[in-house]
Structure 1
Amino acid sequence: MLIVLLSKPDQPLHWWRLERDGQIQEQGCDPLSVLQGRFPGARIRAFMADGVNLLRATLPGQRAAALKAALPYALEEQLSQDLDELHIVMGPRRNDGRISAAVVEQRLLEGWLAQFSAVGLRLEAVLPVVAVPADAVPAAGLRVQRSPWPQDSRWLVTDSAAEAVLLESGMLPIWLRKRVQELEEGQRAVELAGEQAAELESSLPAGVAVSRSDQVVSLPRLLGATEFNLLCGPFAVSMAPPPWRALRPALLAVAATLVLAVGWLAAERMALEQQRDALQARIERSFSDALPGERMLDPAMQFRQRLSLAAAADGQASVGQLLYALYAAVGQQQGAEVRQLRGGSGELEVELKIATFADLEQLRATLAATQGISESLLGADSDSGAVTARLRITRSGS
């Protein structure tokens, strides 16, 4: 649970992060934008430092709906503003039979809600800083102590017959004299809690029973207050989780599917790129073997140009016929490989790699048996268990 103190608009906010048992885990003072980045989606409960008053009204016992409807009119004499400008929240019925209530200006509450909404944070509850726990209220009279809220120099006064208030030091003596006179004879007692409260004893009227105590209301106890949530009525917010949370399993499944699909596509692309590179290497090797010394630009077009030039030089037969006869014979001879190929207007010079001399003679016989083709052996050598031979293939009669 994240607790923030709403003090002044557009100023850094004091915040506390509580454990499940209510102990303070960490605290700080940061702007709203920093809190949004540090605690995204956190449950936030806010305490409003100024602008909220706690009052009591006398209402006969009725149903809750009737009490809420009658409460604003019962408080009207205690308020200085138009009821249409105020947001009134009904609290519990106190021991004296009266109904407690929190009163805040609507524009003030709307301003804070707009600030949190602008940075993407959602308030779960807004409470007044004077909403003290019930067990912190004295059984009789008044209890005065320094405000435990940070950077707050006011005095916190809890009253057995009224709601708690925060008062400035200059107003406190006057307020205490007036309030003590309103108490019944047996209730005129003031408890000064904490060492700093001892200085107030001289400002109290005569005849008031004064006692001292070290048991002040601590800040962690105030942070655990839950009465008077101002986010009700027209300001009510849903405590249900955001709608997208119900779709979390489906979103996770979609995300996992997308990750797998992207991984599969990446693997397919890598395999295709490897095949492309291997094919490109084979094309370059074949081109350099067929046309050594020539720069490869467009292999298919360059081969067509060479063949068309050879065909134009001699109308009887083209070099393409010689190539066809060569590769037909090589294809029939297992283990034969064309290592280098050089072409002219009517002849081809071929460097072959073949398994044995017998295989070489069989390939030559196949070429010689081809109509219109003659071949001649330019040289042969045996190296590492294979035979390298150079042949010249020409058209018959050339």
Structure 2
Amino acid sequence: MLIVLLPDDLQDDSLERASLHWWRLERDGSPPEHGQDNLHALKLRFAGQRLRALAPATAVSLYRLTMPVRGTASIRAALPFALEDQLSQDLELLHCVPGPRRSDGRLAAAVVETASMERWQALFAGCQWRLEALIPLPALHAGETPDQGLMIRRSPWPCVIPQALVTARDEEPVLIETGMLGLWLKRRLGTLPEDDRIIQASGFSRDELDLEADSAVDFTHVPTTVDLQGALGYCLQPSPPLNLLAGVFATSLVAPPWRKMRPPLIAASVLVAVLLAQFSFEWLILARERDQLVASIETTFNNSLPNSRMVQPVTQFRQVLEGSAPGSSGQGGGELLYEALGVIAQTDSASIKQFRSTPAEVEIELQLASFAELETLRAGLAAKPQLQEILQGADSGAEGVTARLKISRRGS
């Protein structure tokens, strides 16, 4: 993930050449790389990286408020009016974002000018790089609070004017210019009870804080410094608190709406792919069965009508059975075959080896037990006045007698 720090003096005419400090974080929060460059150069170098930004402390103010309402929508609606007494600007010119509730039950909130949000939005829109989150810089130190009083340390963040980081248990972190720190500190100490006027300082002396004449302040030097890596780890949260990309700015800067539809779209794509595969498999099976059926029809046609060319087999078979094929006369070949088979069925040992039928005649090859049975069969056919039988040949063998008969109607 790439983290960029927006500069304090970002103006409309300097968007293209604005130089940003950046850190590239690993999943464990360690920053293996950092530097300073403009956003277009960063886009070319880290095009595949997720991007989050830090809003400078001079542009964003953090507050802690007592909010009795609990619903998210109710808090969002009531927040501007709860901050009205603490703000000197028109609420219509400000962007207010509610944050999490702290350990004392009060609600954290961030306030930034709408004009600043629009300038930052234009900066990232200009290079077509989607920003996942925009976090106030002081909010990264919300977990570094002393047990009592104030903790003052030098800010590790790059800035034109040196700053000091002030954290307290009952207030949100603040980044103050070191030149204004003494005046700000006197005003802040004036709001604290006497037993809570404790200052733990790192990198500042009592004289630098203009506290040499205030003996009521318990001043202590501490060796701790600001953990920059730990503060950057705050940005790795899936949904970091106090994200300024909310409300009217959430539409254009947060994840596009179609991304929420990715799971159902992926499921639909998988379903369509499975259905296509199933339809393709069924089509192949049906195509194979069709080919087998066509081959079976051709075999049956060639065996039944060897001297005919197959054009429309169903129609041709119907014409043959009905005697309506070209060149046929009288009754159909189907009835002739039926009458001949009725006589053959009366001979127990007779079996048909093959036959060929036309509307005018039927040629049958039979297997019989003996010549006597053959003569009996011929006598039965001769007894039919409408049938005429001609013996085309007969052979005897180990299995009996094989005879070939031609049966037609008399007078045909």
Query: How would you bin the TM-score normalised by the shorter chain?
Result: 0.5 to 0.7
In 2, are the aligned partners of 1:146 and 1:197 still within 8 Å (CA)? no
5+ residue gaps, structure 1: 251-398
Q: Which amino acid aligns with 2:118?
A: E
Residue 160 in structure 1 maps to residue 176 in structure 2: no
Q: CA deviation at 1:202?
A: 4.8
Mapped to 1, the partners of 2:34 and 2:258 lie a distance apart of 26
**Structure 1 residue 90: deviation in Å?**
0.3
CA shift for structure 1 position 137: 1.1
Alignment check: 8 A CA contact 2:151 2:168 kept: yes
Q: Residue 213 of structure 1 corresponds to which residue in structure 2? A: 222
1:80, 1:106 → 2: CA distance? 15
Confirm or deny that 1:3 pairs with 2:3.
yes
Cα drift, residue 68 of structure 1: 1.7
How does 1:304-383 map onto structure 2 within 5 Å?
A: none
The one of 86, 95, 99 aligned to 1:87: 95
Give the Cα separation in 1 of the matches to 2:2 and 2:258: 18
* 1:64 shift after superposition: 2.3
Query: Any residues of structure 2 matched to 1:93-132 within 5 Å, and which?
Result: 93-132=101-140
- Aligned pair in 2 of structure 1 residues 125, 197: CA closer, same or farther (>3 Å)? farther
CA distance in 1, matches of 2:5, 2:191: 33
Counterpart of 1:27 in 2: which secondary structure?
strand
Aligned to 2:356: none
**Contact kept in structure 1, 2:146 and 2:167, CA below 8 Å:** yes
- Alpha-carbon distance change, 202 to 73 in structure 1, aligned in 2, over 3 angstroms: closer
Partner residue of 1:70?
Answer: 78
Kindly indicate whether residue 66 of structure 2 is the aligned counterpart of residue 52 of structure 1: no
Deviation at 1:127, TM superposition (A): 0.8
User: Is the 1:141–1:187 Cα contact (8 Å) retained in structure 2?
Assistant: yes
Q: Tell me how far apart the structure 2 counterparts of residues 171 and 115 of structure 1 sit (CA, whole Å).
A: 30
Describe the shift of the 1:219–1:239 C-alpha distance in structure 2 as closer, same or farther (beyond 3 A).
same
Instruction: Write the distance in 2 (CA, Å) between the matches of 1:96 and 1:72.
Output: 21
Match of 1:239 among 247, 255, 268: 255
Partners of 2:172 and 2:193 lie apart in 1 by: 17
> In the alignment, which residue of structure 2 is the partner of 1:32?
39
Change (3 A) 1:16 1:104: same
> Is the CA contact (8 Å cut-off) linking 1:91 and 1:102 kept in structure 2?
yes
Residue of structure 2 in register with 1:228 after alignment: 242
Q: Is contact 1:126–1:229 with CA below 8 Å preserved after alignment?
A: yes
SS at match of 2:132: strand
Aligned-partner Cα distance in 1 for 2:225–2:196: 20
Report the RMSD for the aligned CA atoms in angstroms: 2.4
What is the aligned residue count?
Answer: 247
Q: Show CA shifts across 1:233-267 (max 9, x none).
A: 111144369769989xx9xxxxxxxxxxxxxxxxx
SS at match of 1:144: strand
Under a length normalisation based on structure 2, what TM-score does the superposition of the two structures give?
Answer: 0.56
CA apart distance, 1:170? 2.3
Shift of 1:134: 3.7
